[in-house]
Amino acid sequence: MFKGRRRSMTLTCFYHFTHSNSTSLTHHNYNSLITPTFSSTLHNHKPLFHLFQGILRPTIRSFSTTFTSSCKAMANFDSDSVTYLKQQEAAEIDETLMGPLGFSVDQLMELAGLSVATSIYEVYKPGEYSRVLVVCGPGNNGGDGLVAARHLHHFGYKPFVCYPKRTPKPLYAGLVTQLEALSIPFLSVEDLPSDISKDFHILLDAMFGFSFHGSPRPPFDDLIQRLVSLSSHNQSGQKRPVIVSVDIPSGWHVEEGAVNDIGIKPDMLISLTAPKLCAKKFGGPHHFLGGRFVPPAIAEKYKLILPPYPGTSTCVRIGKPPQIDISALRENYISPEFLEDQVEANPFNQFRKWFDDALAASLKEPNAMALSTAGKDGKPSSRIVLLKGFDKDGFVWFTNYESQKGRALSENPHASILFYWDGLIRQVRVEGYVQKISEEESEQYFHSRPRGSQIGAIVSKQSSVVPGRHVLHEQYKELEQKYADGSLIPKPKNWGGFRLTPHLFEFWQGQQSRLHDRLRYVPHEIDGQKLWKIERLAP
């Protein structure tokens, strides 16, 4: 009933739950699960909770742990390792979530709809796939679609909603009101263009879920056939909208899939809670799992093996991503123009303005910068360091003076730093002369750091070869014990700050069709006064 997905990320470690519980649950009719009386009764049904307490203390053993160096590597979670649910199991899990485990229908729909929207954003960015037609059914799949439409709007898409069979229930009426408040258009079936492939980039199939029985009735039978025809349209090589199905493709049998291999062939399937058995028949390039709300009790009872959700993600890819032609990877940036008459005359002020924007946007480590150096041999090297201060005199960072970058700067005191703020589609490049800051400044900053970082700076003979990580840990523990009394930790003589004094700034703002804005500041003198000249560079 509920659908979702997730993003690809860093740490993969999932659990194989070993014990099963033989408690059987009475299967309720799907429609009864979404009535107000059902949820209100559950609040007072304490005996059910106590009966279920026996499986709320799962025994878990680690099944596998895999570390990856990239978020996208999480996409390699083996689809054959995932648990696929039969229809009855999926229904029982929903009943348990909304029974003894205390979830409400609107909570689960909100989580599912967010998972759907997030999954779509992972693959189909709004810059390329802006117009989304969300086709909502009469049940909870339709509710998930309504919630997804709201989140898609906030993610930068332009959603349209086709909701043929509205229900008067307050929960769904409230979702409609929320969309109307955002001026999201509602289209009747009659309002839909005869060829929907020309008006929309994404078709979100949120019509029927796993609890649907029988044959679809009008107007859904016709809507499903339109999606089926678009699937075959794609096989002819003609461009068409991508199709995204929530939980199961509408018209599919929840366990057998598309009967006689005739049915919707979505490009993306977003399974919710856990994949249903029919998902094994899904042959599209993108399968995501969403709905991050399965507690250990249910995972143990049904022996679920599911991919982990890394970090704060609400969705996760199942199976390997499709092979991508790297040369075809591109983003059509959309951002405000960056014009000469709008910028600060002083590049330090312009940098501060953009840096404050990066802080306000809550970007991760906005002070991260690529530092490029070259020694006397002229060979360049780059690494990411953290900016620790800037003013009219330049940009400051700290390091071990005997590191590779420290040695290079002692031989060639010229460097370049580069900031990249992806969320704002901005870069700033600064070139200049580098020199050490005063010992007093370095001392002051060193003792402002956490004591663990101070000890780490002493232990690390940066860029030198070490026999193993255990050596670093042993030295760290020795120093930790030595200064356990809280006494002052001395700054190493070979550790301190560098300051880059700029002689060139370049501000880059991404734009459509690769016509990016690049404004360069170079110093020049007028009447003996040092000023900055602003030049536009070809993108």
- Enumerate the active-site residues: 514
Say if CB 222 and CB 252 are below 8 A apart.
Answer: no
DSSP-derived 3-state class of residue 395 = strand
Residue 319 counted as an annotated binding residue: no
Residue 283 counted as an annotated binding residue = no
Give residue 331's identity as a one-letter amino acid code: E
Phi, psi of 108 (to 5 degrees): -65, -35
Alpha helices in 187-256 (DSSP H): 220-235
CA distances from 536 to 78, 263, 285, 521 (A): 49, 54, 42, 9
* 141 annotated to bind ligand: yes
222 is in an annotated binding site: no
From CA 12, how far away is CA 73, in angstroms rounded? 9
In sequence order, which residues have a C-beta less than 8 Å from that of residue 464 and are 6 or more positions away? 402
Q: Which amino acid is at 296?
A: P
Is 214 a known ligand-binding residue? Answer: yes
Looking at the chain, the number of H-run helices and the number of E-run strands are 13, 18
Q: Is 527 annotated as a binding residue?
A: no
Is 460 labelled as part of a ligand binding site? no
CA 333 – CA 425 distance, rounded (Å): 7
Q: For residue 78, say whether it is annotated as part of any ligand binding site.
A: no
143 is in an annotated binding site: yes
Beta strands in 401-528 (DSSP E): 414-421, 426-436, 495-509, 517-526
Distance, in Å, from the CA atom of 508 to the CA atom of 514, rounded to the nearest integer, reads: 12
Structure tokens at 330: 């591109």
Residue 231 is assigned to a ligand binding site:
no
CB 81 within 8 A of CB 18: no
Say what the alpha-carbon torsion angle 383, 388, 391, 394 is, to the nearest 10 degrees. Answer: -30
Does 251 belong to an annotated binding site?
Answer: no
Q: Is 212 annotated as a binding residue?
A: yes
**Rounded Cα gap, residues 485 and 232, in angstroms:** 74
**144 labelled ligand-binding:** yes
First vs last C-alpha separation in the chain: 49
Task: Please state the residue numbers annotated as binding site for K(+).
Answer: 141, 205, 250
Task: Please state the residue numbers annotated as binding site.
Answer: 140-144, 205, 209-215, 247, 250
Task: Please state the residue numbers annotated as binding site for (6S)-NADPHX.
Answer: 140-144, 209-215, 247
